[in-house]
Every structure is written in structure tokens, then in C-alpha cells.
Amino acid sequence: MASGARVEFYDKFQREADEYDRDFMRKYDEDLNTTLIFAGLFSAVTSAFIVDVESQLQPNYTQSSYTVLTILANISLGHPPADLNSVLPQWAGPSPNIVRVEAILYASLAASLLAAFVAMLGKQW
């Protein structure tokens, strides 16, 4: 009789453990799906901001072209500039704030892609 009670105990324990495992896996599978969706949307939005800010890291070639064409037109009319270096626009590089913003955007994109990668590893496991 002790053997029958032991078998019944282990059968009940196995059923409870299986039910707990199913609930656990269902809950975390839904959490991983939510994480994947959020990481994908966040990556898309961050990429859009990166594309927008990227243009501010380069000099304004339109203004440079306009200045050079104005100088050439004045030279062709016989009015050379007194000091050519003072007329040409000098670009000292992007603003430090723009560089910081770009670095933060790239870091957030890397973090969201890492979150998506880890979520996929969790789903594969």
C-alpha cells in the first residue's frame, strides 16, 4: 500500500509540475513576443532619427557651392576678392552636441537590436 501511495504522489507531482511548466512557458513566450515587437518598433524609430541627424554631421555643400560661384562671378566681372580665405566658408566639423546625440542614437539602436537578439535566443531555447 505504501508503494501505491508513493506512485499516486509522484503522478500528482508530475501533473502539477507539467501544468506549472506550461503556464511558465506560455507567460514567458508572450513576454518575449512583446519584447520582440517593442524592440522592432523602437529600432525602426531610432533608425529614422539616425537618418535625420546624419545629415547634420556633414558640411553644407549648398552654401559652399553658392559662395564659390559668387566668387567666380565676381572674378569674371573683374572684381576679385581682397582675401580669398576670408570669403570661403570654413567648416570646423559637426557640433559636439550633434555628435553626442548621434552616439546616443547609435547606442540605443544597438541596445534594442541586442534585446531583440536575446529575445530570439530565449524563444529558440
pTM of the model: 0.68
For the cut 80, the answer to whether the pLDDT of residue 4 exceeds it is no
User: What one-character-per-residue DSSP string does 47-68 give?
Assistant: HHHHHHHHGGGS--HHHHHHHH
125 against 47, higher pLDDT: 47
Q: Say if CB 54 and CB 102 are below 8 A apart.
A: yes
pLDDT by residue (tens digit) across 65-113? Answer: 888 888 888 888 888 777 666 666 677 788 899 999 999 999 999 999 9
Amino acid 85: pLDDT: 64
Distance between CA 108 and CA 105 in Å, rounded?
5
User: How far are the Cα atoms of 5, 10, 22, 25 from residue 17, in angstroms, in the given order?
Assistant: 18, 10, 9, 12
Instruction: List the chain domain ranges.
Output: 2-57+95-124, 59-93
